[in-house]
């Protein structure tokens, strides 16, 4: 029995103001190539299919093309919604899709019915599709259950989802899962969380042979090797520039073997650091100037964004840092109080973006401040 595990496609996402539609189409095509080459029995898509709950028509078309191409490989497809998705939009047409081997769980409706899948060697697996859940939703379904947190909620779901008792038991879920061995690695492109209130303990999945997780963007296992986040197919933040993106392949027979197949993007997301003049000089011999670039300048420079985009047109963000990595020195409090609120905002904008605000941006921000009661 073989599965391919992917998640967190975030179709429709932008990096800063840059659309990455072509990059996403390209990497989804590469995933289809991998599926065609690996010929798995099933493809597990663990949520956050879209980047938001109101995907554009273009994003919907990209997903449609992707699912169609995957279906054409002959592999069965198992997909759930994540916290970024609209359960209704993900689940739309699921009955019709099911006839074509595409199994989708959009909204949790109170029960999880495992789906049987058989391989050519006579082995069978049951796949539990568990879309993103919140405890209060589960509590409404099971009012007599003692549900205080996410762990209790997942336990209640699984206790009310009888197993078929087949050769393998697989779960597809989109949650923040932790273990007693330490918190999993996170990165900047994920949703912020408050403490551990939204986490669930990995022990709730003890009865499963493999758990395909989505939500965290770094490839990693939680607790045991067979509870895994596969990560995003593309780099979605500056904290991911040194991260290798992969597709996870799982082979299950007498033992479970896991390997990662590298994904090579259309354009890389990279970070360059130094003095502006040095970066510009080095870029002249750079073969990949169309990459998506985060810039760290070691000194303040006038019109930095305008100048850097002459050599790196897809510069996403400029950050000015001190040689000791301390960042900007804060001005005295009296100096801040003496400033006009608009001047403070303009200075923050310039330091974070590396460029001046436009007149239209100033007009919009000033109007928002006035509507909020800010006095100038």
> How does pLDDT run across 89-141, given as a tens digit for each residue?
999 888 899 999 999 999 998 889 999 999 999 999 999 999 999 999 999 99
Classify residue 356 by burial, with Cβ atoms within 10 Å: 0-12, 13-18, 19+. middle
CA distance 55 to 224: 35
- What's the pLDDT score for residue 2? 97
Query: For residue 334, what are the domain limits?
Result: 269-371
Confidence of residue 266 (pLDDT cuts 50, 70, 90): very high
User: Do 27 and 56 belong together in one domain?
Assistant: yes
Confidence of residue 357 (pLDDT cuts 50, 70, 90): confident
User: Do 238 and 299 belong together in one domain?
Assistant: no
Q: Give the residue from 262, 290, 322 where a domain finishes.
A: 262
User: Do 147 and 175 belong together in one domain?
Assistant: yes
Q: Is the pLDDT of residue 363 over 90?
A: no
The answer to whether position 49 is within a domain reads yes
Long-range contacts at 114-120 (CB < 8 A, ≥ 24 apart): 114/161, 114/163, 114/164, 114/169, 115/78, 116/164, 116/166, 117/1, 117/41, 117/42, 117/76, 118/41, 119/1, 119/2, 119/41
The answer to whether position 203 is within a domain reads yes
- CATH code at position 43: 3.60.21.10
Confidence of residue 77 (pLDDT cuts 50, 70, 90): very high
Q: Could you tell me which residue, 185 or 67, shows the higher pLDDT? A: 67
User: Do 58 and 181 belong together in one domain?
Assistant: yes
**Tokens, residue 249:** 């392949």
User: pLDDT tens digits, residue range 159-202?
Assistant: 999 899 999 999 999 999 998 877 777 777 766 554 445 789 99
User: Do 257 and 291 belong together in one domain?
Assistant: no
Half-sphere exposure of 28 (CA within 13 A, CB side): 25
Q: What is the mean pLDDT of residues 218-240?
A: 95
> Is residue 128 within 8 Å of 176, Cβ to Cβ?
no
- What's the pLDDT score for residue 351? 64
The answer to whether position 376 is within a domain reads no
User: Do 39 and 77 belong together in one domain?
Assistant: yes
User: Do 151 and 105 belong together in one domain?
Assistant: yes
User: Do 251 and 363 belong together in one domain?
Assistant: no
User: Do 280 and 224 belong together in one domain?
Assistant: no
pTM for the whole structure:
0.83
Q: Give the residue from 262, 287, 304 where a domain finishes.
A: 262
How many domains is the chain built from? 2
CA distance 338 to 351: 19
User: Do 30 and 106 belong together in one domain?
Assistant: yes
User: Do 173 and 317 belong together in one domain?
Assistant: no
User: Do 230 and 358 belong together in one domain?
Assistant: no
User: With pLDDT > 70 as the criterion, what percentage of the chain qualifies?
Assistant: 91
Confidence of residue 361 (pLDDT cuts 50, 70, 90): confident
Confidence of residue 40 (pLDDT cuts 50, 70, 90): very high
The answer to whether position 135 is within a domain reads yes
Nearest to 229 by CA among 265, 197, 187, 193: 187
The answer to whether position 161 is within a domain reads yes
Q: Tell me phi and psi for residue 125, to 5 degrees.
A: -135, 150
Q: Is the pLDDT of residue 303 over 60?
A: yes
Among 186-190, 207-211, 280-284, 338-342, the range with the most confident prediction by mean pLDDT is 207-211
The answer to whether position 240 is within a domain reads yes
Q: Give the residue from 227, 262, 297 where a domain finishes.
A: 262
């Amino acid at each position: 029995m073989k599965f391919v595990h992917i998640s967190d496609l975030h179709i429709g996402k932008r990096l800063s103001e840059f659309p990455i539609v072509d990059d996403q189409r390209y990497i989804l095509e590469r995933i289809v190539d991998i599926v065609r080459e690996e010929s798995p029995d099933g493809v597990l898509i663990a949520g956050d299919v879209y980047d938001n709950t109101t995907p554009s028509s273009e994003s919907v078309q990209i997903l449609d093309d992707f699912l169609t191409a995957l279906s054409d490989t002959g592999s069965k497809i198992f997909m759930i919604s994540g916290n970024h998705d609209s359960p209704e939009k993900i689940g739309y047409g699921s009955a019709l899709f099911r006839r074509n081997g595409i199994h989708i769980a959009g909204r949790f409706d109170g029960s999880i019915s495992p789906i049987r899948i058989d391989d050519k060697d006579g082995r069978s697996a049951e796949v539990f599709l568990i879309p993103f859940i919140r405890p209060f939703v589960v509590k409404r379904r099971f009012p007599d259950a003692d549900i205080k947190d996410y762990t209790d909620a997942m336990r209640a779901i699984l206790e009310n989802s009888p197993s078929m008792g087949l050769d393998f038991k697989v779960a597809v879920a989109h949650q923040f899962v932790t273990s007693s061995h330490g918190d999993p690695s996170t990165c900047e492109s994920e949703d912020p969380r408050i403490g551990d209130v939204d986490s669930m303990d990995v022990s709730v999945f003890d009865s499963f042979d493999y758990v395909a997780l989505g939500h965290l963007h770094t490839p990693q296992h939680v607790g045991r090797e067979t509870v895994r986040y596969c990560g995003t197919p593309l780099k979605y933040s500056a904290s991911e520039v040194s991260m290798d993106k992969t597709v996870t392949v799982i082979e299950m027979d007498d033992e479970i073997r896991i390997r990662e197949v590298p994904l090579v993007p259309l354009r890389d997301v990279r970070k360059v650091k130094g003095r502006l003049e040095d970066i510009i000089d080095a870029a002249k011999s750079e073969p990949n100037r169309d990459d998506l670039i985060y810039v760290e300048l070691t000194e303040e420079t006038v019109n930095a964004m305008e100048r850097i985009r002459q050599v790196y047109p897809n510069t996403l963000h400029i950050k000015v840092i001190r040689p000791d990595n301390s960042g900007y020195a804060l001005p005295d409090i009296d100096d801040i109080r003496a400033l006009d609120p608009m001047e403070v905002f303009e200075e923050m904008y310039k330091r974070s973006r590396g460029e001046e605000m436009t007149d239209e941006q100033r007009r919009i921000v000033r109007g928002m401040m006035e509507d909020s009661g800010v006095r100038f």
